[in-house]
Structure 1
Amino acid sequence: MRSPQPSRAQPSRAQPPRAQPNRSTMTDRREFGKAIDSLTGSFERRTSMCQPFVRVLPVDAASVCTLGAPFGSETICASTALAATFDELQFDLGEGPSWDAMTTRRPVLIDDLHSLRHAPWPALQKAARHIDVRAVYAFPLTMGSLDIGAVSLFTQGSQALAPGQIVDAETLAQITAGQVLRRSLASRTLKTNLEDNEGYSRRVVHQATGMVLAQLNLSAADALLIIHGHAFSHGRTVREVAADVVTRRLDFSSILES
């Protein structure tokens, strides 16, 4: 399946030409590998999910947040007070590039928020002038059928991400989605009891994990995470969801296509 094309907002023609990125358009591959490693273990190591983005991309700040049901609107990390404030504005207003990125499952790329004409979020655009945010790039956090939240990247100057940098940001966001989901599930009480009286079957869960793995082309760990996340978001037990997968009442590939 081809990745959706990013949405890039257009600046006003009355504004001066957009500035070019002030860093190399080619991400250092060694540093990028380190960023992937850092993010992959961020939940277990309790390390920042924001810093890897700032280290390898031409941005000044980053934030990671969950949005709406079922995980609630919460900033997981923010590399600066500016990034945290922008997230809070989006939570309060219920709109913004992070919301759009999550609901459309596409990156939302704004090279110059100040000169954006016909902004879909005029209140946010006005408020952003007071916190020194110029460019905003929002990338969705999704896993399977779950819409989790977004990664937002910020610069204080007007600039554009190069195509390769957009791809790198999407790759990092995909890894971040799994880490955020693990954190969100760990911090809440799931409606499940591994020793319930109805006979929790590890065999059923293992079988369902294998089926989800095949449906979505994921690792076994991520496939099991999808099952847990679906159970949490629908107020069900892991066993119930696994049984639906095994009996083919639930097909995650069909949910994604719809």
Structure 2
Amino acid sequence: MSDGSSDTRRDIGRQLQEFARRFSGLWAGRAVEPDEIVEFAAEAVPHTIAAGLTLVRGDARPITLAATTELARRVDELEYDSGEGPCLDAIDDDDITAVADLERDPRWPKFSAKAIEETPIRSMFGVRVFLGGDDRGALNFYAPEPGAFTDLDLGIGAMLSAMASLALQNAVAQRKTDNLKVALESSRQIGTAIGILMSSRLITADRAFDELRTVSQHTHRKIRDVAAEVMETGALPEAKPPRRREG
């Protein structure tokens, strides 16, 4: 017969395997979304009622990239407004920062006072998420009861944050690749359209681009969309000025 601790370890193992499978770069051939990370994290940490993901870019104000509830977002905003709190400490000073009771912990007086006054949250912890460059983050967990989180909760949160780091880095890399593909396709369309106009209208490349831009501005269309029409029709669309409202 297996004891409870063995069952718990097996449950944790299954959860982490599922997390790795779900958020690996190969799963479903797509980048993971932040909402998916926090939803799974909230399910995996036994005593949390919500999870959130904080992102800090350089010296900019922190933002909540994703959260499972509006309550989590509200607690985060109180941290950002006060400039202090366990999630911010996890990002800047420690890999993991936990508070068992906001009413008794003296480390963040401004944040704790606001959180106690405006929310039911009394215990929480944040785990650093490594993103590279100037990007920094934390995976955050919240509970209304004092002393809600056990060492097991913290351990699961720490392991999930490591996998979330890899998943988010992969997502960022995938989006950069997708953006590059879009930029290259746009450049190809614009270059081809310029060539068509140069040949058909006997004008220079600079003049052809100016005409594309003029049509784009007058018709409120993107230059690449105007270029795509030139590629299809062989002619420059009419640059009709926007209608003036009467009265």
Report the TM range for the smaller structure's normalisation. 0.5 to 0.7
Larger Rg over CA atoms: 2
Contact 1:136–1:153 (CA<8 Å) still a contact in 2? yes
How many residues of Structure 1 are paired with residues of Structure 2 in the alignment? 167
Give matches, 1:4-153, under 5 Å.
27-40=11-24, 44-46=31-33, 48-58=36-46, 59-69=48-58, 73-116=62-105, 118-119=106-107, 121-129=108-116, 130-143=118-131, 148-153=136-141
Q: Please say if residues 65 and 75 of structure 1, whose CA atoms lie closer than 8 Å, have aligned partners that are also in contact.
A: yes
Q: Deviations over 1:151-178 (max 9, x none)?
A: 1100011224333332221111012123
Change (3 A) 1:71 1:168: farther
Is contact 1:71-1:184 (8 Å) kept? no
Change (3 A) 1:184 1:91: farther
Distance 1:144 1:73 in 2: 16
Q: Report the secondary structure of 1:48's partner residue.
A: helix
> Which stretches in structure 2 are left out of the alignment for 5+ residues?
1-6, 185-247
Q: 1:123 to 1:54 in 2, by over 3 A?
A: same
8 Å contact kept, 1:148–1:181: no
Q: 1:171 to 1:86 in 2, by over 3 A?
A: same
Distance 1:69 1:146 in 2: 5
Tell me the equivalent position of 1:176.
Answer: 164
Q: Residues 71 and 148 of structure 1 are in contact (CA less than 8 Å); yes or no, is this contact kept in structure 2? A: no
**Which aligned pairs between 1:155-166 and structure 2 lie closer than 5 A?**
155-166=143-154
Q: Contact between 1:25 and 1:162, CA under 8 Å: does it hold in 2?
A: no
- Paired residues for 1:190-205 under 5 Å: none
Distance in 2 separating the partners of 1:147 and 1:113: 28
Question: Residues 144, 78 of structure 1: CA spacing in aligned structure 2 closer, same or farther, 3 A cutoff?
Answer: closer
Once residues 145 and 45 of structure 1 are traced to their aligned partners in structure 2, the CA distance between those partners, rounded to angstroms, is 20
Matching residue's letter, 1:110:
V
| Structure-2-length-normalised TM-score | 0.57
SS in 1 for 2:36: coil
**Is contact 2:57-2:134 (8 Å) kept?**
no
Q: CA deviation at 1:101?
A: 0.6
In structure 1, distance between residues paired with 2:154 and 2:40:
14
Question: Contact 1:103–1:147 at 8 Å: present in 2 too?
Answer: no
Pair 1:100–1:49, CA change in 2 (3 A): same
Query: Aligned-pair RMSD on alpha carbons?
Result: 3.2
Over the matched positions of the two proteins, sequence identity in percent amounts to 21
Which letter does structure 1 place at the counterpart of 2:16?
A: F
Cα offset, 1:102, TM superposition: 0.9
Q: Deviations over 1:44-67 (max 9, x none)?
A: 153511111111112110000102
Higher helix share: 2
